[in-house]
Amino acid sequence: MPISQRIVQICLFLVAAICMFGGALQMYLGEPDTIPRLDNVHRFMAGVYLSTGFINLWAALTIRKQGTLVYLLALGVLFAGIGRLVSISQVGLPQPSAVWLGYLIPELLLPFVIAFAHRASQSNPATASRA
């Protein structure tokens, strides 16, 4: 397996772990300090988050067969980071700020690492036929 493909695989495993842990935790915790409508939406989105983790896990396990799906998963991570930026611009940075910036920075950088490494692995003659 080319190193660029291994990089994509590791990134997808990382995203999968974050989504599955975070989604399961948020499904369990919900948003108890708010109105029922917001708790409902929160747990719904936790389910989407959790299921995205399973999709990332499957893509990582079958990385040699993956093409466009990898770019779409990277785009999802980027959109999550953009959503966090919008939230920060609208209601401010939660405390402790270092924790939330620690989430934000990888959400904005990791998609580019995934996309560039995946493109490099697709341009490799040994893996290009699987695009």
Q: What is the pLDDT of residues 84-113, one digit of tens each?
A: 999 999 999 999 999 999 989 999 999 999
* pLDDT category of residue 124 using cuts at 50, 70 and 90: low
Q: Which of 102, 45, 97, 49 has its CA nearest to residue 73?
A: 49
| pTM for the model | 0.85
Percent of the chain residues topping a pLDDT of 90:
86
Which pLDDT tens digit goes with each residue over 51-65?
999 999 999 999 999
Per-residue confidence (pLDDT) for residue 131, from 0 to 100: 45
Per-residue confidence (pLDDT) for residue 32, from 0 to 100: 86
Predicted confidence (pLDDT) at residue 15 exceeds the cutoff of 90: yes
* pLDDT category of residue 123 using cuts at 50, 70 and 90: confident
Q: Which of 44, 69, 43 has its CA nearest to residue 56?
A: 69
Q: What 3 state SS string does 55-94 have?
A: HHHHHHHCHHHCCHHHHHHHHHHHHHHHHHHHHHHHHCCC
